[in-house]
Amino acid sequence: MISLYRIDDRIIHGQTMIKLLPQYPCDGIIIVDNNIVQNKPLFRIYKQVVPDTIKVFCFSVDQATKKLSEAQLSQKKYIIIFKNVKTVKDLFDHGYQITDEISVGTASKKSDAHYIVDGFALNNEEIDVFDYLDNNGYRFSIIPMGGARRTISWKDVKEKAQEAKS
């Protein structure tokens, strides 16, 4: 069973351990990222910050298409983490559709990005991907920087994101 889908460019960090694990108890965390799967030292760091009772896996998009389907059917609980929204689109393009709402954490400022809300900066390509997935029935719950008391949907910030692109 998948208890949470999450996009966060920090992958596994303090908020994951302090807020998400108590809220979404799990037996394993699955990272889906084509770069991290090839970077064994970085993957080992992510594994070290997670309690020993929780398994950590990392799959490429190709591998994840099968593995996430298996995780959905499992009796074990998994949190799925993506570094960016483009990976979610890649999975969709490979035939894996997420019907649950996707929690969205920090999207750090990049040189070509626009701040949409605090701690959530997107470049034009990422804005287009959020729109594409939104148009295909995906739902996103954006959690602004600082652990705001409320979440924001993509529909709430879509207009601002489009204006930022111009």
pLDDT 10s digits, 68-85:
999 999 999 999 999 999
* Residue span of the structural domain in which 92 resides: 2-165
Count Cβ atoms within 10 A of the Cβ of residue 159 and give its class: 0-12 exposed, 13-18 middle, 19 or more buried: exposed
pLDDT 10s digits, 141-165:
998 665 555 678 898 888 888 888 8
- The pLDDT mean for the chain works out to 91
Number of structural domains found in the chain: 1
Give CA–CA dist 107/105, Å, rounded. Answer: 7
Alpha-carbon distance values, 139 to 66, 67, 89, 136, 155 (Å): 22, 22, 13, 9, 9
Read off the CATH number of the domain in which 76 is found: 3.40.35.10
Across residues 5-20, what is the average pLDDT? 86
The strand pairing partners of 102, in sequence order, are 5, 140
Listed in order, strand segments (DSSP E) in the chain are 2-7, 28-32, 55-59, 78-82, 102-104, 114-117, 120-122, 140-142, 152-153
Encoded tokens for 85? 């929204």
Q: What are phi and psi of 117, to 5 degrees?
A: -145, 170
